Homo-oligomer: A and B are copies of this chain.
Amino acid sequence: MAEPNVLDLNRLRRGCAHCSLQQLCLPAGIGADELQRLDDIVRRRRPVTAGDRLFRIGDPLTAVYVARDGAFKTVTITEEGEEQVLGFHLPGELIGLDALAADQHRCEAIALTTANVCEVPFDQLSSVAAQVPGLQQQLLRVIGQSVGRDQDHMAVLQRRQAGERIAAFLHGLSERFRHLGQSGTQFRLPMSREDIARYLGLALETVSRGFTRLQEDGVIAVTGRRVEILDMAELNRLAHAPETDEPRRRGRA
């Protein structure tokens, strides 16, 4: 975040073929010349900054989006005017599928950090997908991954204990970072405590206390948004078991 990245234009010009996400994103598993057809319709936009919106509630479905880096959240607004966080989106994860049913977005997508985004015009995507079997298959697969993340989230929200939800959240995030080739044990949270709280259906104070508790128990180390996972197995255990109040492990494992 120092200089204005004068070389970014070059990076933006590079197509799917050179993208580090190629194997995770829409192009995964399709041939070279078919890749070109996809590449032709993908628009790469200049970087967005934190707080920018890709689309708003009620907007027509014009495109789906994939972050190349950075992170997004999707939110709805409740009757009382407060945000509910539906999901967090890391690079390679499709954003905008919520408009599939009604051609109209039910939520809005907000950048949590500065980010580079690929925009894929939806009608062109579906017509190319109809002609390129591999792309259709991959599109369905990526949609399926999105459904899977939603179901994981539901499973987390069904957990009754705040500690379980928080542990599950951190564990899931860790896996997603690792899947991107980044460290799964040391990372910076792109979202605020409040975002996490609204995502997990908890009060933000409860999230804060949960982090503190995990730190006291030697499972993680937190400073603000920097998180290091010290005991992944224990974190995973806490995410699934209702916290058998084990005699508070001190020092080492």
Contact = CB atoms under 8 A, between A and B. Distances in A.
Majority DSSP secondary structure for residues of A touching B? helix
A86 B154 CA distance: 7
Given A146-B147, A201-B160, A140 B100 contact: yes
Interface residues of A, number: 46
Interface string A145-162: 111101101110111100
6 contacts: A101-B147, A136-B136, A150-B154, A154-B154, A154-B157, A157-B157
A138 to B, nearest CB: 11
Contacts of A198: 158
A123 to B, nearest CB: 10
Copies of this chain present: 2
A178 interface: no
Interface stretch (A15-23, A45-53, A74-82): A74-82
Contacts of A153: 154
B80 A144 contact: no
A98 interface: yes
